[in-house]
Structure 1
Amino acid sequence: MDRIPTRVALRKRNIQIEDSLCPLCRSEDENTDHLFISCFIASNVWNGISTWCKIPNIFVFSIRDLLECHTVIRGSERKKEAVQGIIIIICWSLWRARNNAVFSNSPVKIDSIMSEIKALCFLWFSNRSKFKGLEWKD
């Protein structure tokens, strides 16, 4: 719905932005599809998380596809719900990495993003999901 304040979206709202390049990869204009899907950093994160979760690589072309891709994953409803939560956590972590790069000039490190995602996933699912008794190996 073009509500996320990426640099391209801000320009559409007539907000003066000097540079519209993605702060993570610096190779293309920053819009939601690029930032969360096609950015080099995001692609590496998606591949790493796919391996970690033992699911097929996530290949999508839009945010809408991304938010619905958990429905085509084979497995139980528990696994589909977990993957849906992980997708949301990945988007949140990519957005945080983007904001840290923009507002704090923090270097973008894929390993740091991956570690944050894994920790958040475990904490959110072990404390907030209806699936109690979750352990790190799960």
Structure 2
Amino acid sequence: MSADNICSWCNSTVESSLHVLRDCTDTGQLWGSVINTRYQRDFFNLRTIDDWISWNLKQGKKLEFQMNNGLFMVLCWNIWKRRNERIFEGKSRFNECIIAQAKGMMSCLERVQTKTSSINWYGNGIQNCDLRWKPSETSWVSLCVDGAFSMTMIRRAWEIRICQISRDANVAADHLAKQALDAWLGLHILSFPMESLGRCMDNTYTVNESRV
């Protein structure tokens, strides 16, 4: 929240999470344009953010609600992102832009789900992986990505293992991702590891080795 606790957009109300996501004037108009009028009274009258989120996730299963759970969550994310952009970057996005971007993201997610539903993930389901990154086995190549993969590569005639390494278990990769936020776009090749990365690597291996 901002330092003075007053909403930076309407400048008239204390800024709570529920105010940002639903009750601010511009945000309320956004929701009013995507939700069936039959449900709007309950939508806008729930008093706590926990009750509001729970109610929406239940209603999202109904076709007549006109907004499934995925779209609700993506809209909330975009609304919060708009708030941060306005405060920290001086940017602003219209409601129409927020809705279009959210629907575009949902469309992409649905296409990915459709394409991956027919893939046999190495026969017997997803394998459980170690809690941390480790060098690949002999004759294997490890490719670390941030949640993205190529369908063309997966369908090639080779054996593939896909596993998730949580952020907490790989603080070095998380540190590099955060450093990239302040870097110019393009390929960056580090001739030598940065000092802060070395400390992250030490912490990663120290913490995980203690669990064994």
Question: What TM-score do you get using the length of structure 1 for normalisation?
Answer: 0.64
Give the greater-gyration-radius structure (CA): 2
C-alpha separation between the residues in 2 aligned to 1:129 and 1:62? 36
- Residue 35 to residue 116, structure 1, CA distance change in 2 (3 Å): same
Q: 5+ residue gaps in structure 1? A: 1-5, 8-16, 133-138
Q: 5+ residue gaps in structure 2? A: 118-212
Give the AA of the match of 1:63.
I
> How big is the shift at 1:38?
1.0
- CA deviations 1:37-80 (Å, max 9, x no partner) are 211122112112215xx97333333221222123145637xx99
C-alpha separation between the residues in 1 aligned to 2:106 and 2:33? 14
Aligned-pair RMSD on alpha carbons?
3.1
Give the AA of the match of 1:68.
S
2:70 is the counterpart of 1:85: yes
Give the AA of the match of 1:75.
K
Residues paired across the two proteins, number: 112
Give the number of the structure whose residues are more often helix, by fraction: 1
- Residue 122 to residue 66, structure 1, CA distance change in 2 (3 Å): farther
Question: Greater relative contact order (Cα 8 A, min sep 6): structure 1 or 2?
Answer: 1
| Of 66, 83, 100, the match for 2:52 | 66
- Residue 104 to residue 25, structure 1, CA distance change in 2 (3 Å): same
| Of 34, 38, 44, the match for 2:23 | 38
2:6 is the counterpart of 1:21: yes
- Residue 36 to residue 130, structure 1, CA distance change in 2 (3 Å): farther
* Residue equivalent to 2:94: 109
1:44 aligns to what SS in structure 2?
Answer: helix
1:25 aligns to what SS in structure 2?
Answer: coil
Identity %: 19
* Residue equivalent to 1:123: 108
